[in-house]
């Protein structure tokens, strides 16, 4: 097979050396892929507002559904939903304490529907039964426990109107027709829209509802602040709002705005990172504490009384915890620990007694597994920016614990999507998977990533495939200098923008990577911007200013120059592409066109397609099969360990139109997967 690849591999000697290097890490027993990427045993615990029940998501006949148990009696849990396809991934309680709400789409199309389930009877009502329409839950409130405020784009696909929908009846009432073309709303405790955001060429405007029912300007801010300034919540008395704001500063601060006088008060700020999260008291919506995530997450009290809760939780659980659910009286909390070695363990905290009780591990199959620690790093870019990054090494490869392997290892550069998102410290299934297979794993918050202030985000404007990619190369050079890896044994791997980065790596810097894995990544920036979902219209001006403007000649030229498709002839190393056919963000055409271009030039490529998936792979069989294929591909390229396919393809819709022969075991797995089962009819 390698003879078909022009300039693909450096030869058998290099492959042997990389295999020896990966094997030398001795990362312990092979962690099964299903333990890392199969369905969690239980996840997303939620307390009912009155504290009488607890819900969570867990498999029912192999598909994730919502389960409910009386408080303190988890053994009495019963499923109240019956999804049989993609599984439910988002749920929450209605404030009546009698209904659970959840969201579901069809095949990954992101046209979410809101469902209400009566706990006592299991009666399931589709509250938004409109095909091809996206529902957005705007809010619920204890003052209006029988309704949910929902945005629907059924009138105009670009804009969401606001509706009140009865949780038990499904009755719907229009409360705000979005003729102003607002990007979004924030409701008060009576579920009345009080704040709105409008996007424009020069930036955004935050508006407040006036006494006449119209809208007045509250704040105007330029494009440089649009990623770091937004409304959070209307506080309980309705006279003040909490917002995240970088106006007049670099990092996003927590700010209280008096809606009557427009006076602003900074409640919390940090010079190195944005305020990342806010703890809110359920009834008053007043802030109790805030979190900041630079290298690791930290929580700081705003209300002095909450400091004892932070102290108690830190003493019991360590510093890496988050409060994810509360009762309405705020006496009971669900707390999740997110640490590289603790695999997302869920606890119940009772504030009156201070007791902390373990509820469950999300993935108990990982108990005793050879999980590896994660090391935060600060890497300097060539022009002086600090790139907060995270390194995971195979278990047993770092004898003295200094965060550097005893000898260089093959490395996987795992690039996050977005790009307006970030990597963070905590349990990362992909880091653990790759490290367990014998690779060093490096994730880099390149310029444009969020969380580190607006200057860092704006440094990425119009820098796709330019300085944003330089940051990734600078991180690799750092890893080579530190003897973490060698220059000839680095793979690039990622999804969404990370998939684009993988394509950029193999086209713009083809000699820097041994291979690449692109998952739902765009190959042509012009077609990407030309096919965004209609409800992203409010976001388009940001895309134009941060990626490139397809409405101008200079912008079209830039988009073409920065598109991997334009440079496809430079590809010299193995490439794996994975795509969901129903992806509304990065359409299937993005993968189809680069695969076609490679075939036209005689460049081999492995193309994996899931006809029932969207922007990422939700169904367990699709998810585990995608990791099995990636693992075999990386093993062929870098020489790491590889778990045989086994049952990873069971229940999967996987198709491999091109290049199955390059991945070890893939052709046999596909043949076994497609073979008729004994006793089946045709």
What DSSP designation does 463 have? -
Count CB atoms within 10 A of the CB of residue 61.
Answer: 9
Q: Catalytic: which of 583, 612, 653, 673?
A: 583
For the chain, how far is it from start to end, CA to CA, in angstroms?
Answer: 35
Distance, CA of 650 to CA of 516 (rounded, Å): 26
Angle between helix axes 429-436 and 620-638 (nearest 10 degrees) is: 40
**Residue from 527, 672, 663, 676 nearest 608 by CA:** 663
The structure tokens listed for 142 are: 């204890």
Distance, CA of 523 to CA of 586 (rounded, Å): 9
Contact at 8 Å (CB) between 574 and 637? Answer: yes
Strand duo 321-326 + 332-337: pairing: antiparallel
- In the sheet with 355-361, reading across from the earlier edge strand, the strands are 321-326, 332-337, 345-350, 355-361
What DSSP designation does 179 have? T
Q: Catalytic: which of 489, 615, 648, 652?
A: 615
The structure tokens listed for 667 are: 């052709």
Q: Catalytic: which of 21, 397, 496, 630?
A: 496
| SS3 at position 422 | coil
The structure tokens listed for 190 are: 């009576």
Residue 416: active-site member: no
The structure tokens listed for 624 are: 């585990």
Contact at 8 Å (CB) between 655 and 608? Answer: yes
Count CB atoms within 10 A of the CB of residue 76.
Answer: 9
Residue 339: active-site member: no
The 3-class SS string of 74-128 reads HHHCEECCCCCCCCCCEEEECCCCCEEEEEECCCCCCCCEEEEEECCCCCEEECC
The structure tokens listed for 325 are: 């659910």
Residue 298: active-site member: no
271 to each of 190, 275, 452, how far by Cα in Å? 36, 10, 9
Distance, CA of 454 to CA of 206 (rounded, Å): 18
Q: Which residues are catalytic?
A: 496, 583, 615
């Amino acid at each position: 097979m390698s003879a078909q690849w022009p300039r693909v591999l450096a030869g058998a000697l290099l492959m042997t050396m990389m295999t020896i290097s990966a094997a030398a890490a001795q990362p312990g027993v092979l962690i099964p892929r299903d333990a890392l990427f199969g369905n969690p045993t239980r996840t997303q615990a939620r307390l009912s507002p009155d504290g009488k029940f607890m819900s969570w998501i867990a498999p029912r006949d192999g598909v994730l559904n919502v389960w409910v148990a009386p408080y303190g009696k988890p053994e009495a849990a019963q499923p109240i939903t019956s999804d049989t396809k993609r599984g439910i991934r988002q749920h929450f309680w209605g404030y009546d304490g009698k209904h659970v709400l959840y969201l579901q789409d069809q095949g990954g199309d992101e046209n979410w529907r809101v469902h209400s389930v009566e706990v006592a009877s299991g009666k399931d009502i589709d509250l938004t039964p409109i095909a091809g329409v996206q529902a957005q839950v705007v809010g619920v409130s204890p003052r209006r426990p029988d309704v949910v405020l929902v945005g629907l784009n059924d009138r105009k696909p670009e804009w969401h109107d606001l509706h009140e929908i009865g949780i038990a009846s499904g009755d719907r009432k229009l409360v705000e027709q979005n003729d102003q073309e607002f990007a979004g709303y924030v409701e008060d405790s009576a579920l009345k829209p009080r704040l709105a955001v409008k996007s424009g060429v020069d930036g955004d405007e935050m508006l407040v509802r006036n006494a006449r029912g119209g809208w007045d300007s509250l704040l105007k801010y330029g494009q440089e602040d649009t990623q770091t300034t937004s409304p959070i919540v209307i506080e309980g008395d309705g006279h003040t709002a909490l917002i995240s704001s970088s106006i007049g500063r670099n990092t996003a601060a927590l700010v209280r705005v008096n809606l009557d006088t427009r006076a602003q008060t900074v409640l919390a700020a940090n010079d190195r990172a944005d305020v990342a999260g806010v703890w809110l008291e359920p009834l008053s919506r007043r802030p109790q504490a805030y979190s900041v995530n630079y290298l690791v997450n930290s929580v700081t009290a705003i209300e002095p009384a909450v400091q004892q809760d932070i102290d108690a939780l830190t003493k019991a659980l360590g510093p890496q915890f988050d409060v994810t659910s509360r009762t309405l009286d705020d006496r009971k909390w669900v707390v999740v620990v997110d640490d590289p070695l603790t695999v997302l363990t869920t606890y119940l905290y009772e504030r009156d007694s201070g007791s902390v009780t373990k509820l469950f591990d999300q993935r108990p199959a990982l108990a005793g597994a050879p999980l590896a620690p994660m090391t935060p790093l600060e890497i300097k870019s060539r022009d002086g920016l600090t790139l907060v990054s995270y390194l995971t090494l195979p278990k047993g490869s770092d004898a003295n614990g200094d965060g550097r392997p005893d000898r260089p290892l093959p490395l996987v550069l795992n690039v996050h999507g977005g790009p307006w998102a970030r990597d963070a410290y905590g349990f990362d299934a992909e880091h653990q998977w790759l490290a367990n297979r014998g690779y060093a794993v490096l994730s880099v918050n390149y310029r444009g990533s969020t969380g580190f202030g607006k200057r860092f985000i704006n440094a990425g404007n119009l820098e796709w495939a330019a300085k944003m990619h330089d940051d990734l190369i600078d991180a690799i050079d750092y890893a080579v200098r530190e003897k973490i890896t060698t220059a000839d044994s680095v793979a690039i791997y990622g999804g969404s923008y990370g998939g684009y980065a993988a394509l950029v790596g193999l086209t713009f810097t083809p000699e820097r990577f041994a291979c690449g894995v692109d998952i739902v990544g765009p190959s042509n920036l012009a077609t990407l911007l030309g096919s965004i979902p209609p409800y992203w219209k409010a976001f388009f001006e940001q895309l134009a200013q941060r990626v490139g403007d397809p409405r101008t000649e200079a912008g079209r030229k830039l988009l073409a120059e920065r598109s991997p498709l334009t440079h496809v002839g430079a590809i010299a190393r193995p490439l794996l592409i994975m795509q969901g056919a129903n992806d509304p963000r990065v359409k299937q055409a993005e993968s189809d066109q680069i695969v076609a271009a490679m075939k036209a030039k005689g460049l081999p490529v492995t193309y994996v397609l899931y006809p029932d998936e969207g922007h990422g792979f939700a169904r367990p069989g699709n998810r585990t099969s995608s990791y099995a294929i990636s693992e075999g591909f990386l093993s062929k390229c870098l020489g790491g360990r590889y778990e045989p396919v086994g049952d990873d393809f069971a229940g999967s819709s996987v198709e491999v139109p091109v290049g199955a022969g390059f991945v070890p075991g893939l052709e046999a797995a596909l043949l076994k997967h497609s073979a008729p089962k004994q006793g089946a009819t045709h």
